[in-house]
């Protein structure tokens, strides 16, 4: 192995990437607009859900219920007629339609348990599931206070003192920003290294490398360090200016420690990108393989949902995936301010997994060049 060959071949990869405008656009978008929009548009968040009300009672009790729906969870209720309700639901105008029947207040005061109908557009599953519970809670609370003739705080047998650590304001944008940030690191590290190898074959330059005094090891390492450096630099800028600067997400831990862990992670995922590229014959095939590998890695690693909520078998199997340890490391450092004494198991796991993936990829790469 000659370090000069690895350095020069890596610089060649950087120059090839600089001449690929689509890849440059993808990198810039993935670490800027993609993270910003992903942080502010979480699908599970109930935000200004469209609601309409059919008030057939026109009583103080029904008016009390209508005025209880306010932003930011719901939009201002739209008063409609009975004949408009189905048409607006069919057209997708309203997510929720509440029908308050005639004589609602009279039956309520007579303790006859009147029925209120709630129609939900279940095609908007993220809002339908959360919003239905909100509507039920609001209606129940308003009816209860109306019957008591005054508003009062609920009397609880205990006093629960809630202390939210690491995200005191419970901002979902903080979690969304870091989740998209980690997912984009995974995606781009695999895409860039795999595309660099496939680009060599499609342009016919792989044959030129084979007649040069360079080894497969030097070729592979050059692609890993060059593409990994691009992703590492882009992630550092995104973390400082987009996540911490624009989105105001606090970084509790050491920035240098996180970058060191990210370097180990990029070593593993870039090796995986080389392995997938050697299995694919073209960029479309590489894209299909990427989807088969990327979706399970992102969904089952703990990025979107806690690993504790997954089946036990999945939790053990995903310990062999590098991004499982990267997610644990990143959340510990960025959110909880953990040091090396806490995250060293994740560092060791990333190094071991990266070494194994590198050996498998190098073996396959040598077969690929024959």
What confidence tens digit (pLDDT) does each residue in 212-251 have? 888 889 989 999 999 999 999 999 999 999 999 998 888 8
> For the chain, what percent of residues have pLDDT higher than 70?
96
Final residue of a structural domain among 148, 177, 199: 148
One domain, residues 174 and 208: yes
Q: Are residues 223 and 286 in the same domain?
A: yes
CA 137 to CA 65: how far, in whole Å?
11
The first and second tokens of residue 312, run together, are 């036990």
Whether 153 is in a domain gets the answer no
Same domain, 64 and 188: no
Tell me how far apart the alpha carbons of residues 344 and 237 are, in angstroms, rounded to a whole number: 25
Res. 1 pLDDT band, cuts 50 70 90: low
- Expressed as residue numbers, the domain containing 141 is 51-148
Final residue before a domain boundary, out of 81, 113, 148: 148
> Looking at the structure, do residues 58 and 178 belong to the same domain, yes or no?
no
d(CA 326, CA 321): 9
Residue 266 CB neighbours (<10 A): 31
The last residue of a domain, from among 148, 176, 210:
148
Lowest mean pLDDT among 64-68, 159-163, 311-315: 159-163
Tell me what the mean pLDDT of segment 155-171 comes to.
73
Give me the torsion for CA of 34, 238, 221, 214, rounded to 10°: 90
Q: Is the pLDDT of residue 360 over 80?
A: yes
Residue 151: pLDDT over 70: no
Mean pLDDT of 15-19: 90
Q: Are 334 and 251 in contact (CB under 8 A)?
A: yes
- pLDDT surpasses 90 at 38: no
Q: Are residues 222 and 330 in the same domain?
A: yes
User: Average pLDDT, stretch 71-100?
Assistant: 90
Total number of domains constituting the chain: 2
Are residues 220 and 107 both part of a single domain? no
> What does the pLDDT average to over 56-75?
90
What are 164-220's pLDDT values in tens digits? Answer: 777 776 777 788 888 899 999 999 999 999 988 888 887 777 777 777 888 889 989
Query: Do 32 and 118 share a domain, yes or no?
Result: no
Residue 156 lies in a domain: no
Residue 22 falls within a domain, yes or no?
Answer: yes
- Given a contact cutoff of 8 angstroms between Cβ atoms, the answer to whether 330 and 180 are in contact is no
Tokens 């993936």 sit at which residue?
357
Q: Mark whether 209 and 71 lie in a shared domain.
A: no
pLDDT of residue 368: 80
Maximum pairwise Cα distance, the chain: 94
Q: What is the CATH number of the domain that holds 120?
A: 3.40.1710.10
pTM above 0.85, yes or no: no
- Contact status, residue 235 vs residue 228, Cβ threshold 8 Å: no
Are residues 99 and 143 located together in one domain of the fold?
yes
DSSP 75: P
Task: Determine which helix (DSSP H) or strand (DSSP E) holds 98, and give its type and residue range.
Answer: strand 96-100
- Indicate if the pLDDT at residue 123 is higher than 90: no
* DSSP H helical ranges for 110-240: 125-148, 172-203, 206-210, 216-237
pLDDT band, very low/low/confident/very high, at 42 (cuts 50, 70, 90): low
Is 36 found in the same domain as 113?
no
pLDDT at position 216, please?
Answer: 86
Q: Which of 153-162, 260-269, 280-289, 346-355 has the lowest mean pLDDT?
A: 153-162
Residue 158 maps to a domain: no
Here the tokens at position 249 are 């997400």
Contact 362, 272 (CB under 8 A): no
Clarify whether residues 242 and 100 are in a common domain. no
Q: Taking the CA atoms of 86, 87, 91 and 92 in sequence, report the sign of the dihedral they define.
A: negative
Contact 274, 361 (CB under 8 A): yes
pLDDT confidence of residue 200 = 82
Are 81 and 184 members of one domain?
Answer: no
């Amino acid at each position: 192995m000659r370090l000069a060959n690895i350095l020069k071949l890596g610089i060649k990869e950087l120059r090839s990437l600089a001449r690929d405008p689509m890849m440059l656009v993808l990198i810039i978008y993935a670490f800027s607009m993609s993270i910003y929009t992903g942080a502010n548009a979480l699908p599970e968040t109930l935000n200004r859900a469209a609601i309409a009300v059919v008030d057939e009672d026109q009583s103080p009790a029904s008016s009390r219920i209508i005025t209880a729906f306010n932003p930011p969870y719901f939009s201002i209720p739209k008063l409609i007629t009975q004949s408009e309700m189905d048409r607006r639901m069919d057209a997708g105008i309203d997510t929720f339609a509440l029908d308050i029947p005639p004589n609602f207040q009279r039956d309520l005061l007579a303790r006859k348990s009147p029925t209120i109908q709630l129609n939900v557009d279940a095609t908007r599953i993220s809002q339908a599931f959360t919003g239905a519970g909100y509507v039920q809670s609001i209606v129940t609370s308003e009816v209860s206070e109306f019957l008591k003739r005054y508003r009062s705080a609920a009397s609880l047998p205990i006093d629960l003192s809630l202390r939210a650590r690491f995200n005191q304001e419970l901002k979902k944008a903080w979690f969304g920003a870091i989740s998209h940030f980690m997912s984009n690191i995974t995606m781009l590290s695999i895409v860039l290294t795999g595309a660099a190898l496939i680009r060599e074959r499609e342009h016919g330059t792989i044959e030129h490398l084979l007649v040069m005094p360079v080894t497969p090891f030097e070729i592979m390492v050059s692609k890993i360090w060059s593409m990994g450096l691009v992703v590492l630099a882009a992630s550092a800028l995104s973390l400082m200016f987009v996540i911490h600067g624009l989105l105001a997400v606090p970084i509790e831990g050491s920035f240098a420690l996180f970058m060191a862990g990210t370097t180990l992670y990029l070593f593993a995922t870039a090796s995986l990108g080389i392995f997938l590229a050697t299995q694919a014959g073209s960029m479309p095939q590489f894209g299909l393989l990427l989807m088969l590998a990327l979706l399970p890695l992102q969904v089952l690693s703990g990025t979107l949902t806690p690993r504790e909520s997954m089946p036990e078998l999945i939790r053990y199997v995903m310990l062999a995936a590098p991004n499982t340890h990267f997610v644990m490391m990143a959340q510990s450092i960025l959110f909880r301010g953990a040091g090396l004494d806490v995250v060293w198991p994740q560092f060791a796991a990333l190094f071991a997994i990266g070494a194994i993936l590198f050996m498998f990829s190098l073996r396959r790469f040598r077969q690929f060049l024959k």
